[in-house]
Chains A and B, each alone.
Chain A
Amino acid sequence: MTEQIHEALSRKYEAGFVSDIESETFMAGLDESVIRRISAMKNEPEWMLEWRLRAYQNWLTMEEPDWAHVQYPKIDYQAISYYSSPKSMKDKPKSLDEVDPELLRVYEKLGIPLYEQEMLAGVAVDVVFDSVSVVTTFREKLKEAGVIFCPISEAIQEYPELVKKYLGTVVPRSDNYFAALNSAVFTDGSFVYIPKGVRCPMELSTYFRINEQNTGQFERTLIIADEGSHVSYLEGCTAPQRDENQLHAAVVELVARDDAQIKYSTVQNWYPGDEDGKGGIYNFVTKRGICHTNAKISWTQVETGSAVTWKYPSCILKGDNSVGEFYSVALTRGRQQADTGTKMIHLGKNTKSTIISKGISAGNSNNTYRGLVHMGPKADGARNFTECDSLLIGDRCGAHTFPYIESRNPTAKVEHEATTSKVGDDQLFLCKQRGLDAEKAVSMIVNGFCKEVFKELPMEFAVEAGKLLEISLEGSVG
């Protein structure tokens, strides 16, 4: 068994490679002039630059949070380069045929050929290759429905009123250390606007790639679902292998106006570092959505990558009868550390939230659920149900649960349950007796353990997530 664990731990990262696309990269370091340059490169209006500079001033006064159950060497923010863009951007590709063939090969290696996705899956892909969106498909089709789906840098140019109105309203500039940093230096990301009463005709998807060495990746995503609209958004990530730790501090803001619904799904498989935990991605993300009356936001995440994860997709249930959901599978192995969970802030009457979190720890990893359920004084009849289950594989890992519950309203009801278990010998025995090998059996048991979350994922993602888990777990039990 020990051998197999060892083998599993030494498995090479399958998406690990560096592609040779020329890129334009800033020198490492951060000061006001860097922010001015980023803003100038993107031809941003004055208000945007001002917004960034104010965020930078906020950031300077803040301290890096240290309360999470994770340990990592201190980050030198002056050693990071804050801008990198593929060179081939200069003459923008009009269609996929014009896209740098090297870039297309990268995606092929990852098993996500754009053609196929375009043709078969009917998914519009806004590819973020490093920091600049390279290609956006299906734009026209979306335009017909009135949906805006474009890089946020473009939205700042073309829809400044919308961006100005909503940017920073859910995650304020000074929300936390990493959000402030992102607000100051974000390079690109996605912008989605679904007009009143529109059901987005397809699932929107962005594949994130981190590519340039030593480049912090600071995406900014803003999704606005206007009254009565509906959208499902998919986000997936992989990254090439490298030695230096990479900081990733994204911000995602969701606005669900009255009767709107947003479903946000993530599969995250960034480089987790080598056997000693060296070189993996630091994933310090702020994701938050606000629900107005009768609105619903649903976060689903499958987290298998990154060396250190610090991520709490949250819902502010401001409007009466609004609904927040959080479904999460977090798998850690090797030396990975994950501190993840959600915040459900119930402000309106009859608001409801459900939290299902499944943590799987293997190897020498640590997996933490940290969540907050807050029932405000006006949240009459509000309900929350939370279930956090942890599964430990091997005796060198850790599984932790820190749920904060704050209630200010007697008519609100909060329920929290958490359990910890291991893959049972009797379960394994039963499977083996029926001719399954241990590996298959474990994979099956773990899949069952995560089923409640997987069923929330869109079909393509559910398949990918199941595969990812299987690959990550191979050999960890004998």
Chain B
Amino acid sequence: MSAWLQQVIDRGQAMNDWLSPVRMKALEELATTAWPTRRTERWKYTSLSAVEQLELSTTASATHASVERISGLDSLDLVFVDGVLQTDLAMLQLPAGLQIHSLHSAPAVQQVIATSMFSQIKPRHHLFGLVNDALASDIVFIDIENGHAIEPAIRIINQSTADHESHQRVLVRLGNQAKATIIEQAEGEQSSLSTSYSEFDLGDQAQLDHYRFAMQTQQAIAIGGCHFCLHDAAALNSTLIGYGSELSRTDIDIIHNGEHAKAKLNAIYLLAESEHFDLHTTIEHAKPNGTTEENVRGIVGDKANAVFNGRIHIHRDAQKTLAELNNRNLLLSRRGQINTKPELEIYADDVQCAHGATVAEIEEEALYYLRSRGIPRSKALVMLNYGFIQELINQMPNQQLAQWLEPQLRARFKEMEVR
């Protein structure tokens, strides 16, 4: 066990609130979990040596967050700084059918719902998920009642500041036929460690548009995940955009727990300098007639290192499942690395499953074409890179977000340029 994990366990034992029974369970599991090494399949390409001896402040910093509005987007913003909720929930103007509570303010009914959900959707094999179970203090519960479509987007912003360790957690329940848009956005570039996990329960025919922008860069260590449980005919449309950092790891789990559910997952990672980004996705088809469409595209520049593991698991009786995964990568530099593994594990015969993965560089001919028309090389590269991911950006259901992203992504491509 690493020194860091030992002090996590010590600190976890001091937590005392109504989630304590669940936290204790997580601590027990942590105590018996071996610290991952390169021989641990889930961490084969990602070293945790940066975390092993980490000693950071665990009290939140006093700095107040400044949050940029997204123009044209109607949103309810929940701001966390170092895992501490800064937004005064009582001051939020909530539409009918929506409730937002924190761990400290949740009424008894919500506590029951939250306890039944907490760490139930997120699989127990995520080591840092267990750490988060034990230590997340300002947990936020978002509850959308049956049949309500929530108009404003719910935006959760997670900022980490220098030399801090933080653990942030969100639980979301969408009732039957409920509809919502949820954006999770993480920022920070200074030396820090943050774990950020969210669990989503989508009721029958519920619809969720979900965005996760894992945009910590540079020295920030960011580890987290999104975990979705889909009931009958629920529809999930999720978009992930990831930047790399000293160590950035995201785990996404989508469980088809009802029939005729639909999941669409688009993910993009853009890595510059010596950044590291690791994305593990798991789609569990536990019930028949589900559909999954997963598109993952990555561009890796300079000395960066990208890891993708995309697993699709069709359970014994999940007949008539349609599942597709496509992973395409561009490697821009001789010093970069791409490690990808699309996995299929299939136990039902009447299914249609396929996956594909490619790794290549930008077509020299395409570059030549643009340059022959007077476009300088660096600009042509940005154009081609943006073209590579634009298809996925265009598929985002919320185009205000897409517009907000575009200049940021273009600036990102400049950073990724290999000189």
Q: Mark B320-341, 1 if CB is under 8 A from A, else 0.
A: 0000000001011110111111
- Take A375-B359, A414-B357, A416-B357 as given contacts and tell me if A404 and B341 are in contact as well, using a CB distance cutoff of 8 Å: yes
- Take A399-B346, A405-B339 as given contacts and tell me if A418 and B355 are in contact as well, using a CB distance cutoff of 8 Å: yes
- Take A409-B331, A409-B334 as given contacts and tell me if A402 and B343 are in contact as well, using a CB distance cutoff of 8 Å: yes
Report 8 cross-chain contacts, Cβ distance below 8 Å, ordered by A residue.
A401-B342, A407-B337, A410-B334, A414-B359, A416-B355, A416-B356, A419-B353, A420-B354
How many angstroms from the CA of A66 to the CA of B118 in the assembled complex?
32
Interface residue B117 (Cβ < 8 Å from any Cβ of A) = no
Interface residue A403 (Cβ < 8 Å from any Cβ of B) = yes
How many angstroms from the CA of A405 to the CA of B347 in the assembled complex?
24
Contacts of A395 in B (CB 8 A): 316-317, 319, 348-350
Contacts of B337 in A (CB 8 A): 406-408
The residue in chain B whose Cβ has the minimal distance to the Cβ of A411 is B361
Interface residue A398 (Cβ < 8 Å from any Cβ of B) = yes
The residue in chain B whose Cβ has the minimal distance to the Cβ of A387 is B356
Contacts of A417 in B (CB 8 A): 354-356
Contact B341 A403 (CB under 8 A): yes
Q: Sorted from nearest, which 4 A-B pairs have the closest CB atoms? A: A392-B349, A410-B361, A401-B344, A407-B359
How many angstroms from the CA of A401 to the CA of B347 in the assembled complex?
12
Interface residue B360 (Cβ < 8 Å from any Cβ of A) = yes
- Take A407-B337, A410-B361, A411-B361 as given contacts and tell me if A400 and B344 are in contact as well, using a CB distance cutoff of 8 Å: yes
Contacts of B332 in A (CB 8 A): 410
Interface residue A397 (Cβ < 8 Å from any Cβ of B) = yes
How many angstroms from the CA of A237 to the CA of B258 in the assembled complex?
47
Interface residue A422 (Cβ < 8 Å from any Cβ of B) = yes
Give, as a whole number of angstroms, the nearest-CB distance from B181 to chain A: 34
The residue in chain B whose Cβ has the minimal distance to the Cβ of A366 is B347
Cβ < 8 Å to A, chain B residues 349-394 = 349-361
Contacts of A390 in B (CB 8 A): 344, 346
Which among A416, A418, A420 is the interface contact of B352 at CB below 8 angstroms? Answer: A420
Cβ < 8 Å to A, chain B residues 242-267 = none
Contact B347 A398 (CB under 8 A): yes
Q: A402-B341, A410-B331, A418-B354 are in contact. List 15 more A-B contacts (CB 8 A).
A: A375-B359, A392-B346, A400-B344, A400-B346, A409-B334, A410-B333, A411-B361, A414-B357, A414-B359, A416-B355, A418-B355, A418-B356, A419-B353, A420-B344, A422-B350
Interface residue A421 (Cβ < 8 Å from any Cβ of B) = yes
Q: Mark A420-442, 1 if CB is under 8 A from B, else 0.
A: 11100000000000000000000
Contacts of A415 in B (CB 8 A): 356-358
Interface residue B28 (Cβ < 8 Å from any Cβ of A) = no
Q: Mark B294-328, 1 if CB is under 8 A from A, else 0.
A: 00000000000000000000001101000000000
Contacts of A398 in B (CB 8 A): 345-347
How many angstroms from the CA of A41 to the CA of B310 in the assembled complex?
52
